[in-house]
Amino acid sequence: FMFWVVMFVFILGLDVPSVIWAYWFYCFLHFLTFKEMDSATLHEEIHSFFESAPPLKDSAKITDKLNRFIHFDSPSSGKGRRVVCVTSGGTTVPLEQRCVRYIDNFSSGHRGAASTEYFIKAGYKVILLYRRGTCQPYCSSLPEDPLLECFELTDDSNFQVRQSHSEAVKGAIMNHHAAVAGGLLLKLPFTTIFEYLQMLRIIASSMKSLECHAMFYLAAAVSDFYVPWKSMAQHKIQSASGPLDMRLMQVPKMLSVLRTEWSPSAFCISFKLETDSKILLEKANMALKKYKMHSVVANELLTQKEEVTVVTENGNISVRRDKTRPGSEVEDPLVELLVKKHSTYINDAIAQDL
């Protein structure tokens, strides 16, 4: 390559400044072409992910539920009311179409459930996209197996709440009922990566009309790799065939299309979890820039319940649980900070429109 460059310069008799300018021009063209290629490839990958995914059951019902929820108290457009989509829990990756085995991750859904409560307290309507079977809002004071531990039989056909659990049960039922009946909480369950991403796309499209009043708080632990539906074994994989060799594809990064196409005016917060503290902030910063997030919440596996770092364009903010208050949670100051940032974002957007 260098030989041809030298030949080119020699034949044209170019001077040094012209060569430097030509070089910069070449780099610029190269950069533009690659950016376009990157974006075209991503769109192709996203298209093929959705094309080959098993169709979402009840997608029309989900859209209808969402529209009614979003426009519950302001039927004209739903604009003005803040709505946050909280994603929670981990997505599974099925290995067989008639799924017996799947890949899963550690996420318990605690962060999503707790944050939902704080957002509702702050006056938001919450769409909670959660993994079936994970932690639920208002249930943190209940024991692990509430049905069996909170109730006791009084005779053969009647039962009652055990005295020791009556406050927790009453609190959970009352708060949950108030949130749902008041049009402040809509819960939508998912299990697989296919369901999660299809539902996130529907939610984002339904929230598009809310413009800057919409927020995405993406705390779910989403699989990075998956088996495309079409190349997946239909029946249970047989162990008699020997060791299992399986090629997993990368799940296309949907955050950038969420920001640019699905809900471009929404305020977007993504989460980044790492186990190695040395790379955490660097990876969070990369996500902030690459996916044009408004903030990225960086957390480490071992300390995620104690502290998180909110990474923004203007610097990092460390958020900690208030250890002096028993039962305090890091989600409390975290949601408070993000609500403030969302207010600034809304005010800036309104000022720009004037």
Positions in the binding site for ligand PAZ (CB under 6 A): 89, 107-111, 219, 221-222, 271-273, 299, 304
Least CB distance to ligand PAZ at residue 325 (A): 19
Rounded to 5 degrees, φ, ψ at 310 are: -90, 115
Least CB distance to ligand PAZ at residue 48 (A): 22
Least CB distance to ligand PAZ at residue 245 (A): 26
Which residue's CB is nearer to ligand PAZ, number 273 or number 288?
273
Least CB distance to ligand PAZ at residue 111 (A): 3
Least CB distance to ligand PAZ at residue 171 (A): 21
Q: How do 185-190 and 125-131 pair as beta strands?
A: parallel
Max intra-chain CA distance, the chain: 103
Tally the residues of the chain: 354
Which residue's CB is nearer to ligand PAZ, number 135 or number 150?
135
Which residue's CB is nearer to ligand PAZ, number 197 or number 210?
197
Measuring CA to CA, which residue among 104, 93, 101, 102 is closest to residue 236? 101
Least CB distance to ligand PAZ at residue 269 (A): 11
Least CB distance to ligand PAZ at residue 286 (A): 12
Contacts of 115 by beta carbon, 8 Å cutoff, 6+ apart: 86, 88, 217, 219, 331, 334, 335
Q: What CA–CA distance (Å, rounded) separates 221 from 101?
A: 19
C-alpha distances out from residue 343 to 80, 216, 349, Å: 12, 14, 10
In the block, tokens 């927790």 appear at 168
Which residue's CB is nearer to ligand PAZ, number 32 or number 301?
301
Which residue's CB is nearer to ligand PAZ, number 89 or number 252?
89
Collect contacts of 75-78 with beta carbons under 8 A, ≥24 apart: 77/209, 78/209, 78/210
Which ranges of the chain would DSSP assign to H, the alpha helix?
2-12, 16-52, 59-70, 110-121, 146-150, 166-181, 193-207, 255-257, 277-290, 331-353
Least CB distance to ligand PAZ at residue 221 (A): 4
Which residue's CB is nearer to ligand PAZ, number 140 or number 304?
304
- Number of helices (H) and strands (E) in the chain: give both, helices first: 10, 14
Quote the distance between the C-alpha of residue 176 and its chain's center. Answer: 23
Which residue's CB is nearer to ligand PAZ, number 272 or number 342?
272
Least CB distance to ligand PAZ at residue 191 (A): 15
Which residue's CB is nearer to ligand PAZ, number 111 or number 259?
111
Which residue's CB is nearer to ligand PAZ, number 210 or number 258?
258
The answer to whether residues 152 and 160 touch, using CB atoms and an 8 Å cutoff, is yes
Measuring CA to CA, which residue among 290, 298, 345 is closest to residue 318? 298
